[in-house]
Amino acid sequence: MESALSVLVGLFFAVSIYMMLSKHTIRIVLGVTIFGNAVNLTIFTAGRVLREVPPIIPEDVVTPQTLVANPLPQALILTAIVISFSFFCFLLVLAYRAYQELGTDDTDEMRVAEPKGEGLPPLGY
């Protein structure tokens, strides 16, 4: 099970990096989202995939008597999901506003500081 998840994580990372290297902003935003999901799946896989009992300890016992699931990866992933969704919303609004202002989603054409009529800035000294 963990080896299949590891292959899936690698596939997610490869797809996300491929999409982030695109020239179009919507593909970049989707690549960042897939990258966040890949990181969440990495944390989930690193926390061991086991079907154990929930980490609830009775009142009269100090430590658990049996094997229990690790709650730390679950808490980290839950927090990361909230943060990545808010980051996705921010990037989506940013890309939409850039499209409204510039009329394109191609990053090569988004050259407000470098007008098309002029040459490139000096590349060396």
Q: Return the percentage of the chain with pLDDT > 90, whole number.
A: 47
Residue 79 lies in a domain: yes
User: In Å, what is the CA distance from 60 to each residue of 63, 64, 66, 70?
Assistant: 9, 11, 15, 21
CB 102 within 8 A of CB 110: yes
pLDDT of residue 98: 92
Domain encompassing residue 90? 2-51+67-102
- What average pLDDT is seen over the chain? 86
Number of domains, the chain: 1
Confidence check: pLDDT of 66 > 70: yes
Mean pLDDT check: name the lowest of 3-7, 72-76, 116-120.
116-120
As a whole number, mean pLDDT of residues 29-45 equals: 93
Residue 37 lies in a domain: yes
pTM: 0.76
